[in-house]
Homo-oligomer: A and B are copies of this chain.
Amino acid sequence: MATATQRPKVVIVGAGFGGLSALKTLGNKAVDVLLVDRNNYHGFWPLLYQVATGQLDSASIAYPIRGLIHSYKNADFQLADVSGVDFAGKQVQIENGAPIPYDYLILAAGSAQFYFGNDALAETTFSMKDVDQAEELRNHVIAAFEKAQTETDPEKRKQLMTVAIVGGGPTGVELAGAYVELFKYNFKRDFPSLDMAQARVILIEAMGNIMLPFSDPAIKGPSPLQKSTAKVLEDRGVEIMLNAAVDSVADNVVNFKDGRTLAAGTVIWAAGVRGAMLGDKLGLTLQRGARVQVNEELNLPEHPDVFVVGDMAYLEGFKWGDRVMAYPQVAQVAVQMAKQAAENIMVIAAGGQPSKFKYKDKGSMAIIGRNAAIVSSSKPIPMKMGTRWGTFFPGWVMWLVVHVMFLQGWRNRFVSIFNWMFNWMNKDRGVRVMTGKVDEKTEKLIAS
């Protein structure tokens, strides 16, 4: 409840990296904060692929939002699905409930899967944007192998044992790396009557190289990090298809634009990202990727009391070689934008002038699998860490440390570290259980 007089009420939509960063910045300050999300937890999406591949339970990457507001006397949470914003009336509209008034608004609703205009793909493929989808994907892959055990037609059996991942970016790479390990170390023991040599993991990329975010503007063609990522994946058994644009997916067959086809019991769409659907409902002109154009101060030109940050926001200023591009849809951008937006709100509320967003690039990292991760620094020249060390081991250790640091809550950190130790020592996956939501495709498969 906002007190009547001076304290302005800030509503934050979205409890991802951006939303939490804004909460932290505004916590115990001279404003009232209401965080709104359709889930009651903060999902740590960098580890979502581990839920999909049976390495972590979903509770380890889902932290109750209300546990995060305990430390702030000026903050509360409301579980609601935001359906729009009444800019004139200064109200956030929600599904099934009274609109929420605001003095200042921070929209940090993140991103959604993008199908390049072919939305039928949402029905015929799996995606991995939240905990429930990751559990659905895990359940489907397990169900496909269970089905394979009793399948007598050898072609159908091979199909069931094939996972196709569309999109050779970081998500596709981490999934591909994790699935070959799951099959090689676990399913091999789990399914003694299946010939695991027939299990396939295929990474499909429309462009000429995987891992575009790790390309080097100074190099024509793949960077050393891109090349070595591909080599590690192939050495471990992932099949990489380059220049392979997907036209459609139907009945567990991937149809490529060049006429090729691929039968796969599980098809995962990890190819496109767009700003959250909420962007469409704001009545604003959207930029490329359905992202909302913001001022350099991160607020809307038309509504200076409304800030948009993170994956939803479109702002140019990211330097890549000689080019200047929009800030990428990564956690670091969301965290830093949200902090700046929150600080700007406090400055404006105090009658001052907001500051322009300045990005401090802390580099990026991606995991390929057991003992292997790549790290690139903020400078355009990627660190040679991966290529200098054959196993990518230092990059992997760094990846683990950074991800544990950013996980919310000691319980989750401890349980995750234990799970990883257990997985690493035993080459085991403790969480290969079919619980939670089951996709229609999986129900159909089980009933077939």
Instruction: Tell me whether B434 and A40 are in contact (CB under 8 A).
Output: yes
Q: Provide the bound-state CA to CA distance between A448 and B95, in Å.
A: 10
Contact A96-B447, Cβ < 8 Å, known A76-B193, A78-B149: yes
Stretch at the interface among A52-60, A219-227, A270-278, A287-295: A52-60
A437 beta carbon closer than 8 Å to chain B: yes
A267 beta carbon closer than 8 Å to chain B: no
Chain B residues closer than 8 Å to A389, beta-carbon distance:
none
Chain B residues closer than 8 Å to A430, beta-carbon distance:
59, 64, 67, 409, 411-412
Of the candidates B59, B67, B436, B448, the one whose C-beta lies within 8 Å of that of A132 is B436
Q: Provide the bound-state CA to CA distance between A447 and B95, in Å.
A: 8
Chain B residues closer than 8 Å to A64, beta-carbon distance:
190, 430, 432-433
Chain B residues closer than 8 Å to A45, beta-carbon distance:
none
Contact A143-B79, Cβ < 8 Å, known A59-B59, A64-B190, A190-B64: yes
Chain A interface residue count, Cβ-Cβ cutoff 8 angstroms: 55
Would you give 29 A-B contacts (Cβ < 8 Å), ordered by A? A40-B146, A40-B434, A41-B434, A57-B59, A58-B435, A59-B59, A59-B431, A59-B433, A59-B435, A64-B190, A66-B189, A66-B191, A67-B190, A67-B430, A67-B432, A70-B189, A76-B192, A79-B143, A79-B446, A98-B150, A131-B435, A135-B435, A409-B430, A411-B422, A411-B428, A415-B418, A418-B418, A435-B436, A436-B437
Contact with B along A157-197 (1 / 0, CB 8 A): 00000000000000000000000000000000111110000
Shortest CB-to-CB span from A365 to chain B, Å, is 26
A359 beta carbon closer than 8 Å to chain B: no
A39 beta carbon closer than 8 Å to chain B: yes
A residues bordering B, Cβ < 8 Å?
A: 1, 39-41, 57-60, 62-64, 66-67, 70, 76, 78-79, 95-98, 131-132, 135, 142-143, 146, 149-150, 189-193, 409-412, 414-415, 418-419, 422, 428, 430-437, 446-448
Q: Provide the bound-state CA to CA distance between A418 and B414, in Å.
A: 8
Q: Provide the bound-state CA to CA distance between A60 and B418, in Å.
A: 13
Excluding A39-B433, A40-B432, 20 further A-B contacts by CB distance (< 8 Å) are: A39-B434, A40-B433, A40-B434, A57-B58, A57-B59, A59-B59, A59-B435, A64-B190, A67-B190, A67-B430, A95-B447, A96-B446, A135-B435, A409-B430, A411-B419, A411-B430, A412-B430, A415-B419, A436-B437, A437-B437
